[in-house]
Amino acid sequence: MRDAVKAVLVDLGVPDGQIRTEAFGTDRRDPTRRAGKSGRFVGKVRFLDTGKMSTSWDGATLLDVADEAKVRIDSACRFGTCGTCRVKLKNGEVRMPVQDALSDADREDGYILACQAEPEGDVALEA
């Protein structure tokens, strides 16, 4: 239903940056899952606030990397809709399949959702 309502709003001309959604029910992504370092190396992740650095692998989100490096990034839904894991990307590029919780201004200011952002090479973020 959420996706259908969003599609109608977009068809009516409501700017995507003004549409907010919330997910209810079970997470599609298990927050207790521990992703192993399988797959290819993608890049280094620098957590500027803590001074820690870790590596990222194919399919890992920045929240996965932070969890493994014991860097605390607040999170809740791990689905890209609540915005709790919003952090500022200072350097590098990421891809995010879901970014419903970010406004246009957030995106312009360099904010990303750690639960969705998969690095495309070396990155640095405020965390």
pLDDT of amino acid 29: 46
Q: What is the per-residue pLDDT for 37?
A: 56
pLDDT in tens, 67-105: 999 999 999 988 888 999 999 999 999 999 888 899 999
The C-alpha atoms of residue 76 and residue 27 are separated, in whole angstroms, by 10
Alpha-carbon span 41 to 74, nearest angstrom: 25
Q: What percent of the chain has pLDDT over 90?
A: 60
**pLDDT for 19:** 83
Give Cβ neighbours of residue 51 (< 8 Å, ≥ 6 apart): none
The CATH number, out of the four listed (3.90.79.10, 3.30.450.20, 3.30.930.10, 3.10.20.30), of the domain defined by the range 39-125: 3.10.20.30
Q: What is the pLDDT of residue 4?
A: 83
For residue range 33-72, list pLDDT tens digits in order: 544 556 799 999 999 999 999 999 998 999 999 999 999 9
Residue 37 in tokens: 């370092």
Closest CA to 91 of 54, 39, 126: 126
- pTM listed for this prediction: 0.73
Above 50 in pLDDT, residue 27? no
Supply the pLDDT for residue 16: 78
Confidence at 7, pLDDT banded by 50, 70, 90? confident
